[in-house]
Amino acid sequence: MDAVFELIQSMTKAEKRSFQIFAARVKESKNIKFVALFDAMEGEKEYNEARLLKQSGVSKLQLANTKKYLFEHLLNSLRQLPTNNYTDIQLHEQMDFARILYAKGMFKQSLRLLQKAKEQAYQHQQNTIAIEIVEFEKLIESQFITHSSSTRADDLTRETSQLTYDIRKANEFSNFAIQLYALYLKRGHVSNQNDIHYIEDYYNANLPKGPIQQQGVYEQLYMNQSNYWYSFILQDFVQCYRHSQRNKMLFEEHPALQQNMPVLFFKTYNHLLESLFFLRRYRSYKETLQDLENMLPRLPTYRNTHAEVFARSYFFAGKINLHFLEGTFTQGLEIIPPLLQFLEQYATKIDQHDGMVFHYKIACLYFGSGDYKKCISFLNKIIDVRDEDVRSDLQCFARILRLIATYEAGDSLMIEYQIKATQRFLIKMNDLNVIQKEILHFLNKTDTFFRDDLMDILQAMLTRIQAYENHPYEKRPFLYLDIISWIESKVQNVSVQEVVQKKFKKLLSAGKFQ
């Protein structure tokens, strides 16, 4: 999408109105066309260059410069809006004022403004801006006699050293967190003992060194995030919950961080929900999801489209997972139209990984409700992704689920071809585990089974698969697909939905869903 067009489409009515007032003040007769181009773009839902040229009166030769001019004025207009929700912008604004006073030779007044800005930076944990302020203070103090205290030089030196240390440590932990996340995107959950050794060695070799008790807030946030991904890869969801809960408590202890780091704030809620989902802590899960839903009406106050997209996508994922827990797959289909509309509206802001996860969840909803053709159509969206470095594990299980859905749909002509293609892909990705072998063997032999023997064969397969439900890494398939409930539905001759609902009600009445 064209950058200027995308920016205009992301603006609120108030922001567009503010730009029109701003443009009326700054426009020059020779540049009047940028306003006409804005009006043309503002009224369109899709970028169509030929139509925009005709509506705006801008020629093809003028378009590039006019768009550049419009883009600059849009940013200037947005920059002048109230900055209450942007602490970093407020602080930089105060530094700009201090520079103006400094240039005018008003050194004491400049230092007073910098001192107030520095206090605010410390209050909001804005260390990178704080060190800029301290460096500016040092510049003024080193060049002019300001009659500061005799310990001023020592104070500024200590501040610089401490801030430099804090920033360096925070960067080490943030780098560690993003490296572990990248590792998860590429490899997914551990699938064998070699994976476990590799992840453990990687963690120990790259873990930032330093005393834990001296960690700052940002170090703690990123360390908890790192430990979450490490535990998530290892499928240790108890530790996942603990680390995400610690981050939630940090955000509660430091409310300013919610405004400064809204994306990480909502990611923390998502990590909590994922941990509770895999731990099957139903009541805690519902309460946390309700907390997230209660925040949605307040999202515009963040004035951060990226954070808003994250929050809403996590809520959609949370609602779908709730249907998975309850076994209400058919009821869950109601969420698909608004979800697809959301994915289309924010297509440029939702990455490939998140899109794949949503398509898999939608496919599972259709599978649980018995609509196998639609299930297959959404699985194909994942299988058609050619980047094997993005969630190769999800691509593997999408093929397994497509095989089962094809079998349920009664499309025997496709089964033989898909089994061979799936087996080749799993071997290529080194992801052929015990559970997948069981399913492939069963589906490959279905034509040879006598109907009277089918139930015994299914029951025997169910017994073998159940033995791996709590295996350190062979349990991984159960994170992607409730294989056991599917086999039980075949044995009991009922739908998957009925099996999952029966289990859910039984555990709920027994008080095992916390």
Quickly list DSSP for 238-298.
Answer: HHHHHHHHHHHHHHHH-THHHHHSHHHHHHHHHHHHHHHHHHT-HHHHHHHHHHHHHHGGG
Instruction: Return the sign of the alpha-carbon dihedral for residues 41, 44, 45, 51.
Output: negative
Does the pLDDT value for residue 215 go beyond 80? no
Computed over every residue of the chain, the mean pLDDT equals: 86
What letter would DSSP give residue 208?
P
Taking a C-beta distance cutoff of 8 angstroms, is the pair 192, 151 a contact? no
Give the model's pLDDT for residue 82: 63
**Percent over 90 (pLDDT), the chain:** 41
Least confident of 114-128, 156-170, 207-221, 301-315: 207-221
At 147, the pLDDT band (50, 70, 90 cuts) reads low
* Distance in angstroms (rounded) separating the CA atoms of residues 461 and 466: 9
Q: Encode pLDDT of 19-78 as tens digits.
A: 888 887 765 545 578 888 998 998 888 888 888 888 888 888 889 998 998 998 898 888
Taking a C-beta distance cutoff of 8 angstroms, is the pair 439, 475 a contact? no
Taking a C-beta distance cutoff of 8 angstroms, is the pair 396, 429 a contact? yes
Q: Encode pLDDT of 62-106 as tens digits.
A: 899 989 989 988 988 888 776 656 788 889 989 999 999 998 888
Q: What is the model's pTM?
A: 0.81
User: What 3-state DSSP class applies to 133?
Assistant: helix
Q: For residues 155-193, b (16+ Cβ closer than 10 Å) or e, as one string? A: ebeebbeebeebbebbebbbebbeebbebbbebbbbbee
Q: Encode pLDDT of 382-422 as tens digits.
A: 988 877 666 677 888 899 899 999 988 888 778 888 888 88
What is the average per-residue pLDDT within 139-152? 72
Burial of 344 (0-12, 13-18, 19+ CB in 10 A): exposed
**Inter-helix orientation angle 392-408/372-383, to 10°:** 150
Taking a C-beta distance cutoff of 8 angstroms, is the pair 392, 352 a contact? no
